[in-house]
A and B are shown apart, each in its own frame.
Chain A
C-alpha cells in the first residue's frame, strides 16, 4: 500500500481546521479533466466533514500532455505568496478550459494581484522549484495519476466518487 512520504508541513497549503482529526491530500494538475471533475467533489466532502477534515493540495503537473499545467501551478503558488492560494486554485479549476496567459492575467486582476509581477514570476520561474518538489514528493509517495488522494497518509486506490471517499474518511476517523 502506497503511503505519503512527505508529511504535511509549512510548505503546504492547508484548507480547513489545521488540527483536524483527518487529513486529505490531493496531488493534482489544473489542466487534468479528472482533477477538474474532482474539484466540486472535494468541496462537497469538505462541507460534509467540516472541522474534522483538513485538505491539502499539492502540484502534480503532467507537463508532456498538458501544455499549461506547469504555468497554472506556478500561478497558484504565486497567488499563494500573496495569501490567495485557494482563491486562485478555485478560479483555475473553474476556468480549466481557458488556461493560458490571457486567463492568468484576468484572474490576477480579479484577485487584485499585480499581473506584471505575476508575469515576472513566471518568466523567472520563481515557483518552478516548489512545483517540482511537490511532484518529486508525489512520485516518492506512489502518486499514480491525477488526481491521487491520500487519506491520513494512505493512498486511495478505489473508485473516486463521493460515497467511497466519504466512507474511507469515516473509517479513518473511527480508527
Chain B
C-alpha cells in the first residue's frame, strides 16, 4: 500500500483538467477547506458508490464551507459522462497526463494497478494537510472521517 502525505504537510499544488477546456488548481481554493477524494475509477458498478455518496452528503460538507474534489486517472470526457450520469454536483479532476502525477505527489498512487488509491485528504484554508486516510481499495470509506476532520478544523 502507498504511504500518504501526513497531517502537517503542505499540500502539493496542482492544476488538473476539470472540463474539456478548463483547469482547476488547488491554490485557487486557498481560504476554504478542501476535501481531496482520490478514488480508483469512474463507473464502479454499484449504486451509492463513493462519489454518489459524497454527492448526497455535499450539503453537510458545505456547512463547513469545504470544497470537495474527486480525483482519478480517468480522462476528462469520461469524468464528464460519469458526472452527468450520476448527477454529481462537485468537480471531478482528471489525473490523466502525466498519468497519476498528482496521486503520486500525495502518495496515493497504486502502482501495480495503474490507478489512484482510495485516499482522502482534508486540507485547511492555508493549504496544510490536516487529515489523511487510506482505505483498502475495495472498501468505500464513507464520510464520517471527513466530517470529523472538518469539525476539528473549526475548533
Contact = CB atoms under 8 A, between A and B. Distances in A.
Interface of A: 2, 5, 29, 32-34, 60, 62-66, 135-136, 139-146, 157
Contacts of A63: 56
The secondary-structure label for the interface of chain A is: loop
Given A64-B87, A65-B47, A139-B147, A144 B56 contact: no
Contacts of A60: 48
A62 B48 contact: yes
A171 to B, nearest CB: 19
A14 to B, nearest CB: 24
Contact of A65 (B86, B140, B142, B147): B86
B144 A145 contact: no
Given A34-B46, A64-B86, A146-B48, 19 more contacts: A5-B144, A32-B47, A32-B48, A60-B48, A62-B53, A63-B56, A64-B56, A64-B87, A65-B48, A66-B47, A135-B56, A139-B144, A139-B147, A141-B144, A142-B145, A143-B53, A145-B48, A145-B49, A145-B50
B141 interface: yes
A140 B143 CA distance: 7
B6 interface: no
A64 B49 CA distance: 12
Nearest to B58: A64
Nearest to B57: A139
B42 to A, nearest CB: 14
B78 interface: no
Contacts, number: 66
Contacts of A144: 48, 50, 53, 139-142
A65 B52 contact: yes
B52 A139 contact: no
B142 A143 contact: yes
Interface in B103-155: 139-145, 147
B60 interface: yes
B55 interface: yes
Contact of B47 (A5, A33, A139): A33
Nearest to B47: A32
Contacts of B139: 144, 157
B142 A62 contact: no
A144 B39 CA distance: 14
Q: Which 4 A-B pairs have the closest CB atoms?
A: A145-B48, A144-B142, A144-B140, A142-B142
Nearest to B146: A139
Given A64-B56, A65-B52, A65-B86, A140 B144 contact: yes
